[in-house]
Structure 1
Amino acid sequence: MNKMTPYRRIFQTVTVTMAAVLGLLSSGCGGGSSDAGMSPLAVGADGTSSFSAEVLVARLDGYALAPLSSAEAASLAYMREEEQLAHDVYAVSATLYAQPIFANITASEATHAAAVKALLDRYGQPDPLEGLAAGTYKTAAFQALHDALVAASRVSLVEALKVGVEIEELDMRDIAAQQVGIDNADILMVYDNLLRGSRNHLRAYMKVLTQQGGSYVPQYISQAEFDAIVQSATETGG
């Protein structure tokens, strides 16, 4: 059997899931008014945090479509690639290790990338990932980062878990930085929930990493902020 066969099988399954999610997000089917006040982020007992397509559509429909600045357009394109990178790296780890955390968070990250895609569609913006295969990106820096993180993940289970923590930490730093230049309330709502999801996923990865005897030194946020996140409870969506 070809070594890539399991990856192709998992990727095909996730691709179908993502297509279904994106279809719901773009069509707006199923989003009733009863969903408008709900959180679009569903959080599982293990900390996996996934966007509900129906609730997100209802929440977005509640916002007036405001003008999109060039900074906001660039931010959406950036976050689309970064959220997809998280999904793609975890999908590889899911083929390498039996720990369910990788497959579970891979599925969650598919909805994160789809949520950003919903915003791109809402504002009539191009998708930077259109036509690209899994694990490939428009931006060279994302491509280099993906390849380095996949290589690190292949070393061992502990290293793959550290990569998971690193990606979530990086996401938190980048989302917070992106929020500074954004005024549109619908984008901020999605970004707020992406941040909650990243903090939950960081907690989940750190829990398993600690169980495996590993440790991690934060690279993108302060040790104090990192410790406060890890030591606090799983968050619900907003």
Structure 2
Amino acid sequence: MKTLNLTRHTLLACAVTLLVGCGGSSAADTAALTTTATTAAASVVDTAPASATVIDNTTASATTALTAAETTTLLFVREEEKLARDVYLTLYNRWGTKVFQNIATRSEQQHLDIMGNLIATYKLQDPVLDNTIGAFTDPVLLGLYQDLVMRGSTSLNDGLHVGGFIEEFDINDLQEAIDEANAGSKPADIIAAYTNLMCGSRNHLRAFVGQIENNGVDYQAQVISQATVDAIVNSPEEQCR
């Protein structure tokens, strides 16, 4: 479990470093963002629980016993979806660009609810204790939310690049989660949910890249490979379940 968390949070810290290049930040800004993500990542890895707290939920029924790593990932993805929703709603309020509102309200909220239902099914303690925009249990995600909102508030182009970053990060993270589940207890419902969320992330990436390129800017990959990004944006929008 700690190895998986280290991989995820190290990637997050490195990706934030890449993100700051979108708007031409100063060296001081870059160092501050990187330090924030790296410090928070180390804190989460060191304090990662061996298992999640179980709650009494007599209406829920899970068919598979999750491993500790799968449980940690499920809880992380729940807040990760809240991160996307909250950043997009904040950037919509800043720029008034519909792509942020549409993805936040029509898709990310649905993804957040799907993960919440799975947490109830597996009788886990929901990390989303406060649904307020910008409230997070995971300090890594709290720091990332603040960094992304700061970056996305610089210009509309930076905001759209923040959207691209979030979706690339989600695609990478969800594939890791699927691989973990397939190698572990193989929970069919969770794997199906992750697959559906990743389908949505590919569509969102298409939307953000389309907006960026319509503004005359060539989009450069921020987390996953350029070849993977190109393959996604050059293929038709998908019908996700």
Output the TM-score relative to the length of structure 1: 0.71
Aligned pairs (5 A) from 1:42-57: none
Residue 104 (structure 1) aligned with residue 72 (structure 2): no
Q: How many residues align?
A: 177
Which digits, 9 at most, give the CA deviation of each residue in 1:14-51, with x for residues without a partner? xxxxxxxxxxxxxxxxxxxxxxxxxxxxxxxxxxxxxx
Residue 137 (structure 1) aligned with residue 140 (structure 2): no
Select the residue among 223, 227, 231 that pairs with 1:220: 223
Residue aligning to 2:187: 184
User: How much has 1:130 moved relative to structure 2?
Assistant: 1.1
Distance 1:94 1:159 in 2: 13
Distance 2:162 2:131 in 1: 23
Unaligned runs of 5+ in 2: 1-59
Structure 1 SS opposite 2:180: coil
Residue aligning to 1:170: 169
What amino acid sits opposite 1:203 in the alignment? R
Distance 1:71 1:208 in 2: 37
Which digits, 9 at most, give the CA deviation of each residue in 1:104-157, with x for residues without a partner? 011121111111111001110111111363212111111111101000111111
Aligned pairs (5 A) from 1:1-238: 65-107=63-105, 108-131=107-130, 133-182=132-181, 183-238=186-241
Q: Say whether the 8 Å CA contact 2:62–2:122 is kept in structure 1.
A: no
Distance 2:151 2:142 in 1: 14
Q: Say whether the 8 Å CA contact 2:130–2:136 is kept in structure 1.
A: no
Structure 2 SS opposite 1:181: helix
Residue aligning to 2:36: none
Distance 2:68 2:124 in 1: 11
Q: Say whether the 8 Å CA contact 2:87–2:149 is kept in structure 1.
A: yes
Distance 1:83 1:214 in 2: 27
What amino acid sits opposite 1:146 in the alignment? Y
Distance 1:212 1:196 in 2: 25
Give 4+ residue runs of structure 1 displaced > 3 Å after superposition.
none
Structure 1 SS opposite 2:236: coil
Structure 2 SS opposite 1:180: helix
Q: Say whether the 8 Å CA contact 2:85–2:109 is kept in structure 1.
A: yes
Tell me whether 84-93 or 123-132 shows the greater mean CA deviation. 123-132
Structure 1 SS opposite 2:63: coil
User: How much has 1:214 moved relative to structure 2?
Assistant: 2.5
User: How much has 1:179 moved relative to structure 2?
Assistant: 1.2
The percent identity for this pair of structures is 37
User: How much has 1:158 moved relative to structure 2?
Assistant: 0.8
What amino acid sits opposite 2:84 in the alignment? A
What amino acid sits opposite 2:219 in the alignment? Y
User: How much has 1:64 moved relative to structure 2?
Assistant: 6.5
RMSD: 1.6
Q: Say whether the 8 Å CA contact 2:129–2:137 is kept in structure 1.
A: no
Distance 1:96 1:131 in 2: 22
Distance 2:214 2:222 in 1: 21
Which digits, 9 at most, give the CA deviation of each residue in 1:79-122, with x for residues without a partner? 01111000000001111123211110111211111111110011
What amino acid sits opposite 1:184 in the alignment? P
Distance 1:71 1:226 in 2: 28
Judged with a 3 Å threshold, the aligned counterparts in structure 2 of structure 1 residues 92 and 64 are, in CA distance, closer, same or farther, namely closer
Judged with a 3 Å threshold, the aligned counterparts in structure 2 of structure 1 residues 114 and 94 are, in CA distance, closer, same or farther, namely same
